[in-house]
Amino acid sequence: MMMLIAGHETTAAVLTWAVFLLAQHPVKMKKAQSEIDAVLGQGRTTFESLKKLEYLRLIVVESLHLYPQPPLLIRRSLTSDILPGGYNGDKNGYEIPAGTDVFLSVYNLHRSPYFWDKPNEFEPEPSRSRGALYPNEIISDFAFLPFGGGPRKCVGDQFALMESTIALAMLLQKFDVELKGSPEDVELVTGATIHTKTGLWCKLKKRSNI
């Protein structure tokens, strides 16, 4: 039930924004399709071939980087503690009494220039993923938190990444994607996930090699 209920909306949102980003960057879409053609041809994705879809995985990571699902994390302090002040905060830190709810904006964290070069740009490059198959909170020193971190981290993170990569590969293997209208027409709405207000209207064109 966890996979069916908690997993479907988040993964759908990841794929929505991945398509949105690719439709604005046709050169990067073609690069992804060239990789898919070389690795898969007209065949299906396997666990072994998934490892070779390196650029496609970076695209999924970038979708999570720019549009994290969820955009906000909430944690409750079990004991009293002091959080460090950070770059521009109080040098003495911040006292957190036991029982305090702490809200963390993953969206702002992922777009912070303190941690990322070109934080608001679509950059599916190895430097962004810190050289990992899929980056995680440890590799990024907790600057990348689409699935949270620690013992309460999302239990389905690897499944979600694999599922998203396979679904995107199947789409780009067969179709070119164009936005209907301009990117400015796509209105962002935040809630449990970051999603579009009225969907993502696209034109699918069957690729000539199919």
- CATH number, residue 34: 1.10.630.10
Is-contact 173 38, C-beta < 8 A?
Answer: no
Task: Count CB atoms within 10 A of the CB of residue 148.
Answer: 18
Tokens representing 142 are: 């907790």
Residue 163 lies in a domain: yes
The pLDDT score that the predictor gives to residue 154 is 83
Question: Mean pLDDT score of the chain, rounded to an integer?
Answer: 87
Residue 85 lies in a domain: no
* Catalytic-labelled residue, pool 45, 154, 165, 193: 154
Residue 127 lies in a domain: yes
Residue 178 lies in a domain: yes
Tokens 């579009």 -> residue: 196
The pLDDT score that the predictor gives to residue 37 is 96
Count of domains for the chain: 1
- Looking at residues 31-60, what average pLDDT do you find? 93
C-alpha distances (whole Å) from 70 to each of 49, 74, 193, 208 are 29, 10, 5, 37
Is-contact 110 144, C-beta < 8 A?
Answer: yes
**CA dihedral over 22, 28, 34, 39, signed as positive or negative:** negative
Tokens representing 176 are: 């070119």
pTM recorded for the entire structure: 0.87
* Catalytic-labelled residue, pool 10, 11, 16, 45: 10
At residue 150 the predicted structure's pLDDT band, cuts being 50, 70 and 90, is confident
| Cα 113 from Cα 118, distance rounded (Å) | 7
- Render pLDDT for 169-189 as a digit per residue (tens, 0 to 9): 999 999 999 999 889 889 888
Residue 48 lies in a domain: yes
C-alpha distances (whole Å) from 174 to each of 2, 16, 32, 171, 190 are 31, 17, 12, 6, 31
The pLDDT score that the predictor gives to residue 156 is 82
Is-contact 82 96, C-beta < 8 A?
Answer: yes
Residue 147 lies in a domain: yes
At residue 92 the predicted structure's pLDDT band, cuts being 50, 70 and 90, is confident
Q: Is 202 a catalytic residue?
A: no
202 labelled ligand-binding: no
- Tell me which residue range forms the domain holding 122: 1-69+107-206
Q: Is 11 a catalytic residue?
A: no
Lowest mean pLDDT among 21-30, 183-192, 195-204: 183-192
- Looking at residues 7-27, what average pLDDT do you find? 91
Residue 77 lies in a domain: no
| Cα 208 from Cα 105, distance rounded (Å) | 43
* Catalytic-labelled residue, pool 11, 20, 147, 165: 147
Q: Name residue 77's amino acid.
A: S
Residue 56 has pLDDT above 80, yes or no: yes
Residue 102 lies in a domain: no
